[in-house]
Amino acid sequence: MPVRIEKACEFALLVPSCDKYSDLWKPFFESFWRFWPDCPFDVFLSSNNLRFDHPSVHSLLIGEDRSWSESIRRAVSAIEREFVVLFLDDIFLTGTVDSSLASMFIWIRAEKPAYVRLLPRPRADLAYNSMVGGVSRAAPYRTATHVVVWKKSVLLELLHDGEDAWQFENAGSIRSAAYDGFYATEKRPFSYVHGCVKGKWTRPAIRQLQELGIQIDRSARPVLTHRETAVLHARAVLHAVLNHLPPRPRAEVRRLFRRDKHCYARAK
């Protein structure tokens, strides 16, 4: 059942990208409009100097990259809305957006939270209501970025110029402890496939997009090897297990894995 809410003037949807990822734009928006044809928000695509020619997409040209955080700041600052839905350019919709999302945005409009993660990875660790759970101040990856509704003013305050996305998800989570109002959905409101990892196509994305009849430019970027795909799958399983731990034990396990990884790297 399609999502139907009135035109939401408090919200805009931003797809942050850059020119070197321009080969993703056509398949991204083909899947986006196929599975969310009545998206009630103005949709913006940020890039360096290239525009995407589509009547329903507003191009934001932000100039040369300095850092991920600076690029996000320039794009978000140009959008005159109270809330910005940050939707990364390598998240490809593979199924119709659930109608429950309409109630979610009505709730956001009324309650004005700082942050709502639309993909429950990591999951919320505090009970709240049937739609969302609270994300505690100690929760790791509290500022995870994949598909998120941000209160614009809070996002701008948390961004630190010079940080990449990984640094923002880690250091930004620590900074976010000064703010209340962080939530994550209890279930995914849409199905999707993650398109790229470290600039390479994932094999599940190639397969699923081909099954949907969505063409991609295989010459523009490499594909993850089978070994890389196996490592990625193992990490996904680990993250799924960690996602069911409370925040503090989850953070401790992550620290142990990072420490072992660094020790191994020094020993090589």
Mind listing the pLDDT tens digit for each residue in 44-53?
A: 999 999 999 9
Mean pLDDT of 208-212: 98
pLDDT at 263 over 70: no
Total tally of structural domains belonging to the chain: 2
**Phi, psi for residue 63 in degrees, rounded to 5:** 80, -165
Boundary (domain end) residue, out of 185, 215, 237: 185
Please give the pLDDT value at position 113: 98
Residue indicated by tokens 């990984």 = 166
Reference 239, options 227, 250, 255; nearest CA is: 250
Please give the pLDDT value at position 267: 31
Residue 110's region, left for phi above 0, alpha for psi from -120 to 50, else beta, is alpha
What average pLDDT does the structure give for the chain? 88
Mean pLDDT of 119-136: 93
Please give the pLDDT value at position 7: 52
Half-sphere exposure of 122 (CA within 13 A, CB side): 30
CATH number of the domain residue 85 falls in: 3.90.550.10
> Which residue range(s) make up the domain with 151?
11-185
User: 139 with 232, same domain?
Assistant: no
Please give the pLDDT value at position 158: 98
| Total-model pTM | 0.86
Please give the pLDDT value at position 165: 94
